[in-house]
Structure 1
Amino acid sequence: MSGTVLGPALLFCPADRPERYAKAADRADTVILDLEDAVAPAAKEAARVALAGSVLDPERTVVRLNAAGSADFALDCAALRRTGYRTVMLAKTESPDDIAAVRTALGDVGVIALCETARGVVQAADIARADGVTALMWGAEDLVASLGGTSSRTSRGTYRAVALQARSQVLLAAGAAGRGAIDAVYVDIADIEGLEEEADDAAASGFSAKACIHPAQVSAIRAAFAPDEAEVEHARSLLAAAESERGVFTYEGRMVDEPILRHARSIIARAGA
């Protein structure tokens, strides 16, 4: 499996709200039909019925499954087998065995492994290398809850140290395995400025995409992952100058070596995407 991610803006949509499916798919790059946390236990079966009857574009649709080994997981897989969707997100992924369980139940599907517990984050490197994994995503609130904590963020809205470590650990695991990495959702819907800052950091750090929970957040994420014209032009000029250089050289007063050139290539790739 490649490390491609359908993004940059992935929008969660509760699977028990089929009247929202089309709008979510229209607003975002990819819609995640959520059978897990967004759906109350009493509405799980209705969500599966709605999922089975939906006809969204499989190339731009992900289905979030409940954790492997749960009763809901088996029922989710049964519903998914009645659809054409071939990419899933596995909630609370904790080991490569969880990925194998998905592939056993569903066959050759792509799996986005959601590492959102202490065990899942610690095992992220092994999970990323499992057959079928296309990307890793991390989750802050479930992670902190799994540790017995009460909040992933400080009163200033910034992540606590443990959440930052998990974010970095999942990103590094994905990168080492050649998989995509998806940044966690920003739950304060009204704080667009905070979302913009976090999405900018995600793009600059190497995340492939960022998930969101409201259509109003999509444009900020897209803007963060799309380099502006000045960045693209500078990257093109730098790469053009490198063609006539050997090894390390100076460009506009700054040292340029291979890592800097890779940064420039990443900007060009994001602009193309």
Structure 2
Amino acid sequence: MTTFPMGPALLFCPGDRPERFGKAAERADAVILDLEDAVAPRDKDAARKNLIAADLDPERTIVRVNPLGTEDFERDLAALQQTPYRTVMLAKAEDGPAVARALAGFTVVALLETALGVVRAAEIASTENVAALMWGAEDLLASLGGESSRSQDGTYRSVAVQARSTVLLAAGAFGKGAIDSIYGNIPDIEGLEAEARDAVASGFAAKACIHPGQVAAVRAAYMPDPADVTYAEQVLAEAKHHGGVFSFRGQMIDGPLLKQAEQTLRRA
């Protein structure tokens, strides 16, 4: 699993609700101050003023800005320049070179939530100042003319599964972090837990949350079982006595299994 240092639980917070900024930062591993979809057009200027006035840890703060090519993006960028925050989540990212030019000097989380953005996932992941990719399900389906990313049983439709996998593979190919999309059904903690467990098992470095009540479930999913931690420690210790493939507790251990053990210890 590629490491994204701010994870595993990232919590969105609307930029027009400054009274929530501190609480969101306290409850999650990082807060995403949202200047885009969570803020009505009439409130965006107020949200930018809130951003400038905010007193949060820059190492644990991400600012989601509006898409490139919009007036709101330019205004967001002007506000950002007046703050210490240098990690930006770019909504509807679609063009790697344009990201590099427009956000030079910033660490970028590229949010791929359109068909074009997903198709160009590898190009965007290869962009130098892009540190991570995230995918967005509902905006993606809207860009395709679809109605919903999930079936009635709550599972993703096949096109959403493909997009999720595409973004994860592109991030991994270029050594960047991958962030799993939000789980919109807030009361369904059991469904969130299952999706978060799949995210960590698949290689996502973090998962985004839209409610403080989701943070604990995501953290629990990313925390390995104590028995798995003990096993990882023991198998890595045993590996020091072998030059290649070896047998441990009846299982053949090779390079990929040792990497998995290392990842387990990193999550712990």
Letter paired with 1:108 = G
Unaligned runs of 5+ in 2: none
Letter paired with 2:112 = C
Give the paired residue count: 267
**Residue equivalent to 1:74:** 74
* Distance in structure 2 (CA, Å) of the matches to 1:170 and 1:224: 21
Letter paired with 2:59 = E
Letter paired with 2:19 = E
RMSD of aligned C-alpha atoms?
1.3
Find the partner of 2:175 among 171, 178, 184. 178
Cα deviation, residue 250, structure 1: 2.4
- Residue 43 (1) aligns with residue 43 (2): yes
SS at match of 1:167: helix
* Distance in structure 1 (CA, Å) of the matches to 2:70 and 2:202: 34
Unaligned runs of 5+ in 1: none
Letter paired with 2:76 = D
What is the TM-score normalised by the length of structure 2? 0.97
SS at match of 2:138: helix
CA deviation string 1:88-112 (max 9, x = no partner): 0000000113312432xxx411000
Find the partner of 1:125 among 111, 122, 125. 122
CA deviation string 1:36-85 (max 9, x = no partner): 01111111111111111111111110000000001110011111111110
* Distance in structure 1 (CA, Å) of the matches to 2:161 and 2:245: 33
**Residue equivalent to 1:7:** 7
* Distance in structure 2 (CA, Å) of the matches to 1:83 and 1:246: 51
* Distance in structure 2 (CA, Å) of the matches to 1:151 and 1:46: 31
Cα deviation, residue 3, structure 1: 6.0
Query: Is the 1:68–1:101 Cα contact (8 Å) retained in structure 2?
Result: no
What is the TM-score normalised by the length of structure 1? 0.95
* Distance in structure 2 (CA, Å) of the matches to 1:5 and 1:89: 15
CA deviation string 1:193-248 (max 9, x = no partner): 00000101111111111010000000111111111211100111111222223322
* Distance in structure 2 (CA, Å) of the matches to 1:69 and 1:128: 20
Find the partner of 1:266 among 228, 239, 263. 263
* Distance in structure 1 (CA, Å) of the matches to 2:5 and 2:80: 20
**Residue equivalent to 1:215:** 212
Find the partner of 2:147 among 146, 150, 158. 150
Query: Is the 1:3–1:134 Cα contact (8 Å) retained in structure 2?
Result: no
Identity %: 61
**Residue equivalent to 2:96:** 96
